[in-house]
Amino acid sequence: QLIQRADYTAPAFWIDTVDLTFDLDPAKTRVLNQMRVRRNPDVAAQPLRLDGDELNLARVLVNGQGTSFKMDGSQLVLENLPEGHEAFDLEIFTTCNPAKNTKLMGLYVSNDSFFTQCEAEGFRRITYFLDRPDVMSNYSVTLRADKKAFPVLLSNGNLVDEGTLEDGRHFARWVDPHKKPCYLFALVAGQFVCREQRVKAPSGKEHLLQVFVRSGDLDKTEHAMNSLMASIKWDEQRFNLSLDLERFMIVATSDFNMGAMENKGLNIFNTKFVLANSATATDMDYANIESVVGHEYFHNWTGNRVTCRDWFQLSLKEGLTVFRDQEFSQDLAAEALKDNPTAAASAKAVKRIEDVRLLRTAQFPEDAGPMAHPVRPDSYVEINNFYTVTIYEKGSEVVRMMQTLAATPASNISGREGFAKGMSLYFERHDGQAVTCDDFAQAIADANPGSALATHLTQFKRWYAQAGTPRVQASGSYNADTRTYTLSMSQSCPPSPGQDHKEPFVIPVQFGLLGADGREVLSTQLLVLTEATQSFEFKDLSLQAGEEPVPSILRGFSAPVVLEKDFTATQLLTLLAHDTDPFNQWEAAQRLCLNAALTAVAASDAPTHVLDAALVQALRTVLRNPALDAAFKDLVLTLPSETYIAEQLEVVDPQRIHAVRESMRAQLARELHDDWAWAFEAHSENGAFSPDPVSSGRRALSGMALTMLCLDARTTGDEVWPGRTYQCFKDAHNMTDRFNALSALVGSGLELAGDALQRFYNLFHNEALVMDKWFALQAGSTDRGGNILSLVRNLMLHPDFHIKNPNRARSLIFSFCSANPGAFHRSDAAGYVFWSERVLELDAINPQVAARLARALDRWSKLAEPYRTAAHEAIKRIAAKTDLSNDVREVVSRALSN
Ligand code: ARG
Ligand code: ZN
């Protein structure tokens, strides 16, 4: 059953208030739902159809009286409701079984505690309701449970009452002062400890911040609390948005389908994005926690105060909130380095490069595959399948372009200022409403009438409507007589499912020119490409006779497009060495490496010396450059991923790509051996741990150096560096250094690896999140003898492997199927067989997780033989199952209709 955006109609009823009473019991929880309901005067009179899912219905009362009702599928239909527009009382009593809820949607039990997840359509698994985001209500909630087993009882808003009951039970009553859609409802009950912090808002109002975790984890909550405080401050400073609740709570659970959830005043998080101390969490964990805590907090305004009219508008809140969390992390990194503007700019660029890397390795393939959809989709079968990198990451890029285009140069208003004005207007107009992506874009444009965004708004909104990654072809010509550079650009966008023809996009292109010696000849200009083909001229450039300028196009990755330009190697080397835009500096190195990789993939001989001497020397210069910081060097020296290389090809031989990239890594390990040794010595340190951008960059680079030195030792037989690496692993003062050393040993397949893995297990087998790393490292490691699959099959039998736990399933199964192409794509098809078995096994437990895994072969039709046929067979085997969930069914049928 396909749901279409065009079919939207307003709800026939409003639910003004909801009073919920829960008698919490793992096997049978009783839910009393008392609502004030009235007809929507704008919609023709009709029966009330309430959504439900896996509920046992015991009673329905209207104004206190029994009433007739019928079931239509899973919907409860009430036909004999009072006429007229007066509100009436509707009371529904149901029970459900949280202990058996392995889908982790609705009310479920994890580690003997109760949690909820209602977005997108989980509230219907708790009670019958109008489960749609445009129905907003005032909630009050009474929780009753055994006091010993469930001492902490939480829900949205403010705690207004609590006390004891008979039989060892107790209760708590919560009232949320803000209207909300039901997907933001939450409750938590169980045994928790909490870190508390009181903060004063600029207004003088006091807020209580709490982070709830299981006892034993309290020493891992400091970073989450710091991140929350930083988020509150940032939203006040940058957007003038403050916390609107007396109390703001975060609760961690180890069983969670996604990252975290922005329930009003009661955010529920995957433990992975809360818990960190230096012994158990890596720098990447620290960074992820900061951005996810920020993300969920920022939803309080972008998502909760102003929410989505329908789920097709999901990117209204997700794209915007990802943009906000990306900006938050950038600003925070820069803030930490405010005494050193160059370092601050570099730290911001590092964050930008990481975000772009994710976009290009995950979203670009999605946009080119069978699941491609616009940022505002037109239809879906299962909304859970549309929590995608397109909605989130491409959605964020669309908001970022709006910020860029919101500048009014004539009045000296920057994009950043213009965008902030637009946000203010958005809240002025829509606070408390459920709105659309159009409403958002309109507010940003209306607040900036002189901006390019306002001028091109209608055309700009094609970014919401058209799927696919646009391609921009650029070519430059220089007229030495007039010292004029002409940049010609044309754009096109490949077809995507249901969209054969695309209209031109509005593409902001940040552009500059360098002289042959690397000096900046033209500082960054914003060019706005709106036509299929367009030229831009730059006159009177201060260039010497015989000197040609070098173009730096799409600085900062100013639009989510593929830039096609035939740069010469010399131009790219100039950009790598001198571009004032650090993003394009990095991009130049990526292009050089990518070009080398593509040439080697196309050749027929075994790949050796894929990188030419000039490129190796340029990379060495970056590595040794004292003016660049370590995090940036780490990014420049990281080769394009196998997935990104595959994206550039019409026909993909995953083993060939893997062999080429491995050969490139081995070459860098060999030819830069002494430089890696230097880098390791120069960047390892033993001081107190701090996750700040400078320290984490140093750890990243020293870790990369160890990886390269161990890789090289494998070929040379050197025993010194493996020994030192093992020592580092044993003596490490923090998880980042320890895990980097372990990966270096495992990644190079050195004998010491087995011993190190066992030691690591002994140290951390009681730390679930560290065990996830242990499983993931093994499942994701380089497949030298074709034995990773059997290792993965063995690890599935390990006593610490639990397929029902999403984090653990992801750490083992996804790490193999989605993150280890060299091991997964086997000519004997055994990787695909394993994949199809796991999709089916998971589908019976948790369809959302299964559907994610089902996407591992999205790009099957591009594979070379024998992979293509084998992958096709595996997908067909899944599709042949009769009782698939909607989630998996939608993914595999789209893959097959490709
Ligand atoms: N709104 C959450 C976030 O991005 C994601 C929740 C998605 N949950 C789901 N079941 N699809 O912060
Ligand atoms: Zn979100």
DSSP 255-271: --SSSEE--TTEEEEEG
Pocket test for ligand 1, best of 103, 387, 393 (most atoms within 8 A of CB): 387
Model confidence over 108-160: pLDDT tens digits? 999 999 999 999 999 999 999 999 999 999 999 999 999 999 999 999 999 99
In this structure, the number of other CB atoms found within 10 A of the CB of residue 7 comes to 9
According to the model, what pLDDT value does residue 687 have?
87
CB 33, CB 57: distance < 8 Å: no
Check pocket membership of 296 for ligand 1, CB cut-off 6 A. yes
Ligand nearest to the CA of 181: 1
Tell me the per-residue pLDDT of 663-716, one tens digit each, with 9 for 90 and over: 999 999 999 999 999 999 999 988 899 999 999 999 999 999 999 999 999 999
Residue nearest to atom 6 of ligand 1 (CA): 261
Task: Output the CA 721–ligand 1 centroid distance in Å.
Answer: 44
Query: Token pair of 455, please?
Result: 């001028």
pLDDT under 50 in the chain at which residues? none
Give me 66's structure tokens.
Answer: 């029994």
Is the beta carbon of 367 within 6 A of some atom in ligand 1?
A: no
Q: How far is the CA of 387 from the centre of ligand 1 (A)?
A: 7
Residue 898 has a pLDDT of 67
- b/e per residue 370-395 (b: at least 16 CB within 10 A): bbbbbbbbbebbbbbbbbbbbbbbbb
262 lines ligand 1 (CB under 6 A): yes
Cβ(769)–Cβ(271) below 8 Å: yes
Rounded to the nearest angstrom, the distance between the alpha carbon of 183 and the centre of ligand 1 is: 10
Ligand 1: centre distance to CA 266 (Å): 14
The burial class, CB within 10 Å (0-12 / 13-18 / 19+), for 762 is: exposed
The preferred substitution site among 101, 108, 261 for testing ligand 1, maximizing ligand atoms within 8 Å of CB, is 261
Exposure string over 646-663, b if 16+ CB within 10 A, otherwise e: bbeeeebbbbbbbbbbbb
CA of 258 to the centre of ligand 1 (A): 6
CB of 51 shorter than 6 A to ligand 1: no
Residue 834: which H helix or E strand, with range? helix 830-843
CB distance 119 to ligand 1 below 6 Å: yes
Which tens digit of pLDDT belongs to each residue from 757-779?
A: 999 999 999 999 999 999 999 99
- ipTM for this prediction: 0.98
Q: Whose CA is closest to atom 8 on ligand 1?
A: 119
Please, which residues bridge with residue 176 across strands? none
CA-296 nearest atom, ligand 1: 12
CB of 318 closer than 6 A to ligand 1? Answer: yes
Ligand nearest to the CA of 262: 1
How many Å lie between the centroid of ligand 2 and the Cα of residue 599? Answer: 40
Cβ pair 203, 281 in contact under 8 A: no
List the one residue out of 878, 803, 891 whose CA is nearest residue 836: 878
Instruction: Find where tokens 């102003």 sit.
Output: 306
Ligand 1, atom 1, residue with closest C-alpha: 261
Q: Which atom of ligand 1 is nearest to the CA of 122?
A: 10
Other residues' Cβ atoms within 10 Å of the Cβ of residue 179: 19
Q: What is the DSSP letter of 592?
A: H
Query: How many CB atoms lie under 10 A from the CB of residue 323?
Result: 24
Residue 323 alpha carbon to ligand 1 centre in Å: 16
| Alpha-carbon span 106 to 116, nearest angstrom | 5
**DSSP classification of residue 480:** T
Residue nearest to atom 12 of ligand 1 (CA): 261
List CB contacts of 2: < 8 A, sequence separation 6 or more.
379, 380, 381
d(CA 59, CA 127) in angstroms, rounded, equals 12
0.95 surpassed by pTM: yes
Mutation pick for ligand 1 pocket among 104, 105, 119 (CB with most ligand atoms within 8 Å): 119
Phi, psi of 792 (to 5 degrees): -65, -45
**Pocket flag, ligand 1, residue 387 (CB < 6 Å):** yes
Distance 314 CA to ligand 1 centre (A): 10
Q: Which ligand is nearest to the CA of 317?
A: 2
Q: Which ligand number lies closest to the CA of residue 293?
A: 1
Q: Is the peptide bond before 866 cis (omega within 30 degrees of 0)?
A: yes
Cα distance from N-terminal residue to C-terminal residue, the chain:
19
Mutate to test the pocket of ligand 1, among 115, 231, 258 (most ligand atoms within 8 A of CB): 258
Query: Which atom of ligand 1 lies at the shortest distance from residue 384's CA?
Result: 11
Q: Is the CB of 120 under 6 A from ligand 1?
A: yes
Amino acid at residue number 751: E
Q: Whose CA is nearest to atom 5 of ligand 1?
A: 261
In the reported structure, the alpha carbon of residue 83 is separated from the centroid of ligand 2 by a whole-number distance in angstroms of: 40
**231 within ligand 1 shell (Cβ under 6 A):** no
From the number of C-beta atoms within 10 Å of its C-beta (0-12, 13-18, 19+), residue 314 rates as buried
Query: From CA 487, how far away is CA 478, in angstroms rounded?
Result: 9
CA 509 to chain centre: 25
Catalytically annotated residue among 121, 290, 296, 642: 296
Which atom in ligand 1 lies closest to the alpha carbon of residue 303?
Answer: 1
Is residue 261 within 6 Å of ligand 1 at its C-beta? yes
Q: Which two tokens stand for residue 816?
A: 């193999």
Torsion angles phi and psi, residue 274, rounded to 5: -125, -50
Is 104 a pocket residue for ligand 1 (Cβ < 6 Å)?
Answer: no
Identify the residue whose C-alpha is closest to ligand 1 atom 2: 261
Six-digit token string for 373: 């959809």
Does 257 contact ligand 1 (Cβ within 6 A)? yes
> Which ligand 1 atom is at minimum distance from the Cα of 299?
12
- State the distance from the centre of ligand 1 to the C-alpha of 643, rounded, in angstroms: 25
Q: Give residue 623's identity as a one-letter amino acid code.
A: L
| pLDDT (tens digit per residue) in 66-120 | 999 999 999 999 999 999 999 999 999 999 999 999 999 999 999 999 999 999 9
Residue whose entry in the numeric block shows the structure tokens 């990095």: 586
Evaluate whether 252 touches 239 at the Cβ level (below 8 Å).
no
166 is annotated as an active-site residue: no
Q: Provide DSSP, 283-337.
A: HHHHHHHHHHHHHHHHTTTBTTTBEESSGGGHHHHHHHHHHHHHHHHHHHHHHHT
| Rounded Cα gap, residues 482 and 480, in angstroms | 6
Return the pLDDT at 384: 98
Pairing of strands 533-538, 520-529: unpaired
Ligand 1 pocket check for 384: Cβ under 6 Å: yes
Atom of ligand 1 nearest to the CA of 292: 12
How much is the pLDDT for 805? Answer: 98
What's the 316 CA to ligand 2 centre distance in angstroms?
Answer: 10
Q: What is the pLDDT of residue 202?
A: 87
